[in-house]
Amino acid sequence: MASGYSNFGGLAKIDDKLPTPLYHQIYLVLRNKIIDQEFADGDFLPSEDQTARAFGVSRITSKRALNELAEDGLVVRERGRGTRVIHSSPTAPQRANIEGMLENIMAMGLETEVSLLAFEYVLPTGQTVQALACDPTEKVQRAVRVRSHEGEAFSHLITFVPEPVARTYTRKDLATTPLLTLLERGGVVVSRAEQTLTATLADANVAPLLKIDIGAPLLRIRRIVYDQNNQPVEFITGLYRPDRYQYRMNLSRKESTWSPSE
């Protein structure tokens, strides 16, 4: 097994024991980072040599992964310059009142089991800085959890919480209590959230944890939770198995459009 390093904004695993070709595993890691805007439109990806060293593969393998990104229209390969991202970010998400959704999230947390894989204080990356409107020199609490129902894993969650808020609970608390409950116990009054739902593909990090194949489709939910002062208090990215999780919304017709029911 090989792992990536700082050029890729965090741990990026591939596994030569898996049936999925190494070049495609690298493609999935880079694809997800482009979709997540860790590599933004106009950025240059690490070179073929840097990519090969990061993942512990040959240059031929890294070249094939980058070429696959180009075939999908996510990057353009420019001779003498490198591989440039040409994927534009989606439009800004619609704001939604968290009333009702809050209760559903807390109920799911109480009715399912959780495995806490990571609990640490780290410096935020660009995406987290933007989501939490925080200073990049100020640490945030990062947690990685896998949630299961009746012994079957269905979601992979990565959360970031500003350090002053996160210090109100412990690792043990998070392993046994829904995060939103812990925020409220710490004095946070949750008022609203911004949420996006998209599709993505499982990479070598997530696939074994959810017991699915690399490249399997996943539902991705990204949510920023705000307090009563309109300050972000949580940034979460959740990956869900679509065969074990459904996201349901009731809509009401208002004039010529459909809006979420209150």
Dihedral class, residue 82 (left if φ above 0, else alpha if ψ from -120 to 50, else beta):
left
Yes or no: domain 2-85 corresponds to CATH 1.10.10.10 = yes
Topology, domain 95-254: Chorismate lyase (3.40.1410)
- Does 151 score more than 90 pLDDT? no
Dist. CA 124–CA 128, nearest whole Å: 6
pTM over 0.95: no
Tell me whether the CATH fold assigned to 2-85 matches the one assigned to 95-254.
Answer: no
User: Which positions ≥6 away from 245 have C-beta within 8 Å?
Assistant: 154, 155, 219
- Residue ranges per domain, the chain? 2-85, 95-254
pLDDT of residue 206: 93
Of residues 243 and 197, more confidently modeled:
197
Strand spans (E) along 86-214: 95-97, 113-122, 140-149, 152-162, 190-201
Q: Give residue-wise pLDDT tens across range 174-220.
A: 998 889 889 989 999 988 889 888 999 999 889 999 999 888 999 99
| The residue to which tokens 């925080």 are assigned | 134
Local confidence band at 91 (pLDDT 50, 70, 90 cut-offs) = very low
